[in-house]
């Protein structure tokens, strides 16, 4: 049988685990807010805020998808892109695009190519922190000011610029509340776990002492 303290520790542990699960799940639910968009340009800059997380969508023109539709390209094709931070630091990356061939059941005439991967070659760690695990362009701004995204036209397979370049902010609703919930849940579960284990050890110690006392009492009577 568990003692009252053990039950209390177990309840704290479960409450803490629930808080962690709710907090972390909520932190993964994000909203996106467009902060700027420019159509048919090779380069576009937007003022960003330090500490905020952003994404960039570089939408291909219809012309970018034609070599895939005609099966001239069968592998994702890289597009060279740079991000210039407010202090002048440059982040270089390759954005890989892929379009469906005309033989694919998903092919539609005039369909643009889509981004399937991003590979960073050089990161201006002073100006931004990139999200290496995202297959799209995602980063956290480290400065206030204009961040310029440029698609390098030199060597590109199309003479047409992107359909548009769009900046958006990645926002977690009530982030402070859910962060506190996840952090507090960790503390509560730790206290609960320690209390539960300590109580179990004390109960076992008491049972052993009782068994020894009973054994000594029985041997004295014999």
Domains in the chain: boundaries: 32-171
Q: According to the 3-state scheme, what is the secondary structure of the chain?
A: CCCHHHHHHHHHHHHHHHHHHHHHHHHCCCEEEEEEEEECCCEEEEEECCCCEEEEEEECCHHHHHHHHCCCCCCCEEEEEEEECCCCCEEEEEEEEECCCCCCCCCCCCCCCEEEEEEEEECCCCCEEECCCCCCEEEEECCCEEEEEEECCCCCCCCCCCCEEEEEEEECCCHHHHHHHHHHHHHHHHHHHHHHHHHHHHHHHHHHHHHHHHHHHHHHHC
> Tens digits of per-residue pLDDT, 189-214?
676 566 656 766 666 665 555 555 55
* CATH 2.60.120 is right for the domain spanning 32-171: yes
> Could you report the per-residue pLDDT of 20-75, keeping only the tens digit for each?
665 555 556 678 899 999 999 999 999 999 999 999 999 999 999 999 988 899 99
Q: Is the pTM of this model over 0.95?
A: no
């Amino acid at each position: 049988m568990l003692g009252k303290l053990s039950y209390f520790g177990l309840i704290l542990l479960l409450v803490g685990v629930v808080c962690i699960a709710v907090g972390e799940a909520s932190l993964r639910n994000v909203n996106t807010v467009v902060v700027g968009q420019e159509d048919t340009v090779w380069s576009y800059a937007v003022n960003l805020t330090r500490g905020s997380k952003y994404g960039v969508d570089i939408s291909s023109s219809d012309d970018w998808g034609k070599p895939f539709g005609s099966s001239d390209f069968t592998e994702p094709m890289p597009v060279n892109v740079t991000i210039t931070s407010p202090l002048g630091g440059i982040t270089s990356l390759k954005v890989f695009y892929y379009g469906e061939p005309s033989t694919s059941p998903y092919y539609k005439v005039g369909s643009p190519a889509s981004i399937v991967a991003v590979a960073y070659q050089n990161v201006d760690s002073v100006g931004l922190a990139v999200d290496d695990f995202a297959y799209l362009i995602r980063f956290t701004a480290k400065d206030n000011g204009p961040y310029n995204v440029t698609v390098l036209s030199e060597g590109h397979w199309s003479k047409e610029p992107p359909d548009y370049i769009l900046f958006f902010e990645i926002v977690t609703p009530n982030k402070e509340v859910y962060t506190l919930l996840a952090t507090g849940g960790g503390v509560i579960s730790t206290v609960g776990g320690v209390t539960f284990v300590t109580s179990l050890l004390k109960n076992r110690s008491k049972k052993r002492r009782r068994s020894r006392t009973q054994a000594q009492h029985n041997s004295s009577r014999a």
